[in-house]
Amino acid sequence: KMKEKRHIFAWDLLLSVALGQVLSLLICGIGLTSKYLSEDFHANTPVFQSFLNYILLFLVYTTTLAVRQGEENLLAILKRRWWKYMILGIIDIEANYLVVKAYQYTTLTSVQLLDCFVIPVVILLSWFFLLVRYKAVHFIGIVVCILGMGCMAGADVLVGRQQGAGDLLVLGGATLYGISNVCEEYIVRNLSRVEFLGMIGLFGSFFSGIQL
């Protein structure tokens, strides 16, 4: 039984790492295309890019909730927690907006590195609100992360790059991403993944449509 548990744990760990790498690749693709749009086409569409994502979530997951029966139905969820998902939806929208907007003011490398500020934000919020307890190695990782961001900002100053506004936009977006991610983890653990994605699709489409 111990061997079976270790085998399952090993596969779960490998799957988590693999999915994480796929996610990193997709995020990198978003960064490249966002930078390409802002530099080569002078496109100023940070809200529109996110709006399409929310529409897709709405079409798939919000409609799934709409056809469900009982307490997991869309209307039943809205009656109980509509204002919480409204706030979460706005936070998620502005997080996407700030980071995509930053590509107009700073380099792709700066955005990708400074976006790692989401890690200490998530760990701090998870400690206080999800009651997750971390080991010393996790805090060492946070220190390395922050040092890396500091080195990146210092390098920009040394070479005379005037991109402070872009760096601040990334840090603001990363902070909001951290809040959104912690809320997402709580909802997925205690409620359901479909409910989270459906509600984000609903409120994300509505408020990003207004902002657009």
pLDDT value for 156: 66
CB 116 within 8 A of CB 174: yes
Write down the pLDDT at residue 168: 86
pLDDT reported for residue 162: 58
Residues with pLDDT less than 70, the chain: 1-9, 153, 156-164
What is the structure's pLDDT at 88? 95
Q: Which two tokens stand for residue 126?
A: 């998870």
| Residue range 118-130, pLDDT digits in tens | 888 998 899 888 8
CA–chain centroid gap for 195, Å, is 17
Position 3 scores a pLDDT of: 52
* Amino acid 157: pLDDT: 66
Residue 204, token pair as written in the block: 């994300």
Per-residue pLDDT at 94: 94
State the residue for tokens 């966002």: 34
Pair of tokens at residue 188: 């997925």
Residue whose token pair is 């989270």: 196
154-189 residues labelled b (16+ CB within 10 A) or e (exposed): eebeeeeeebeebbebbbbbbbbbbbbbbbbbebee
Helix, strand, or coil here: 1?
coil
Residue-wise pLDDT tens digits, 23-64: 888 888 888 888 888 777 777 788 888 899 999 999 999 999
Q: Which of 192, 174, 198, 39 is nearest to 112 (CA)?
A: 174
d(CA 154, CA 156): 5
Distance CA 180, CA 171 (A): 14
- Give pLDDT, residue 4: 56
Longest dimension (CA), the chain: 60
Check residue 137 and give its pLDDT.
84
Close Cβ partners of 41 (under 8 Å, ≥ 6 residues apart)? none
